[in-house]
Each structure stands twice: as C-alpha cells, then as structure tokens.
C-alpha cells in the first residue's frame, strides 16, 4: 500500500472540513480536526503511512510544529522509532540549532535540539507535516536535518496545495510523498 487509490483518497479528503475565508477572505482552509476526530479515517491514514514506511528502515521521524507532531508521533510509535519536534523559536528547552526562511511578509525561523538524533551521524529521517503550501517551513526543516549530518530520506505531507508549488521546491531537496493533492 505505497499509494492510495482514488476511492481511498476521496474517503480521506471527505473527512477533512473546508472553511471558506479563513484566516482571511479568499482562503479555503483545510481543517484536519475532522479527520483526527474520526477514529476510522485517522486509523486508515495511520495504517497507510505505517505500511508505506515500515520498509524504509528509518531511525527517526521529524514533525513540524504543530500538526506534524500529531502524525509524526503517532507514526513513530507504530514504527517503534524516535520522534523529533521542529518548533518555532524559544519553545525547546535545550541547546538548539536554527534555520530562518522567507515569508511573503518577512522572515520566520524553526529550531531543533542540537542532539535531536542522539548524535547518530547519517540517521535516516522522515519529515512529516499536515500540509505543504509554498514549502518554506519544510525547506528550512530539511536544512536543519542536514545541519546534524542526518539524511532526510523523504518528506511526507497529508495535503499538497499543488497550485502553490511548494512540492516542486521540496522535491529538489529530497523525495516527497503527498497523500492527497488539491
């Protein structure tokens, strides 16, 4: 079950609520809370991801704040490997490394503990988040992973907003898997 068929994709997409004009007019926000509170749909998604990644021989899963934590921690538990959070500045209590990235209105930053991969050089890592839009946060996260001499073997996103082109940027850095594309 490396990829979902169209019927399975429709099932998951139908479990995600669309909210018009949030957070501003013209935006259609994809609210994954309706997928998360549907035990059958969330279980189906996690079963799919477990089947896809169980043969990757991963060492860690990295989740991007905050919704990537949900999918990443659940998948790490199923695969019996470690989970590493990537967070906004000043949220992690130990020594961190940082990566800045550009936004259309300025600059933001993500951080990770300097010893996130238990000083395992060459650790095989999966990056996961709920959605990829322009790809800025994911690109910065991959750069953080590289700073630790780990290998981001794939970036996985529940939803790819393909018109925004972030997947094209990320595919230059690592393999990419989008469960759903809209």
Q: What is the CATH number of the domain that holds 119?
A: 3.40.50.2020
The pLDDT value given to residue 179:
98
The pLDDT value given to residue 166:
95
Residue 44 lies in a domain: no
> In the chain, which stretches have pLDDT less than 70?
1, 104
Residue 99 lies in domain: 56-181
R_g of the chain, CA atoms, integer Å: 16
Residue 22 lies in a domain: no
Tokens of 125: 């890592």
pTM value? 0.96
The pLDDT value given to residue 32:
97
Residue 29 lies in a domain: no
Residue 49 lies in a domain: no
Residue 16 lies in a domain: no
Q: Looking at the 3D structure of the chain, how many domains does it have?
A: 1
Burial group, residue 128, by CB count within 10 angstroms (0-12, 13-18, 19+): buried
Residue 21 lies in a domain: no
The pLDDT value given to residue 159:
98
Residue 7 lies in a domain: no
Distances (CA, A) of 182 to 48, 132, 145, 147, 148: 19, 11, 28, 32, 33
**What is the C-alpha to C-alpha distance for residues 146 and 173, in angstroms, rounded to an integer?**
10
């Amino acid at each position: 079950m490396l990829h979902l068929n169209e019927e399975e994709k429709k099932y998951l997409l139908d479990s995600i609520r669309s909210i018009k004009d949030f957070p501003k007019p013209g935006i259609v926000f994809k609210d994954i809370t309706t997928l998360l509170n549907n035990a059958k749909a969330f279980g189906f998604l996690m079963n799919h991801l477990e089947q896809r990644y169980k043969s990757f021989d991963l060492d860690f899963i990295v989740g991007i704040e905050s919704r990537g934590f949900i999918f990443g921690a659940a998948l790490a538990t199923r695969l019996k490997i470690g989970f590493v959070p990537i967070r906004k500045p000043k949220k992690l209590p130990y020594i961190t490394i940082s990566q800045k990235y550009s936004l259309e209105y300025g600059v933001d930053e993500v951080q990770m503990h300097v010893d996130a991969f238990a000083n395992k050089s060459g650790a095989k890592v999966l990056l996961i988040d709920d959605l990829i839009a322009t790809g800025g946060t994911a690109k910065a996260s991959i750069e953080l992973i590289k700073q630790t001499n780990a290998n981001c073997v794939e970036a996985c996103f529940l939803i790819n907003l393909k018109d925004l082109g972030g997947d094209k940027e990320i595919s230059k850095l690592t393999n990419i898997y989008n469960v759903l594309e809209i």
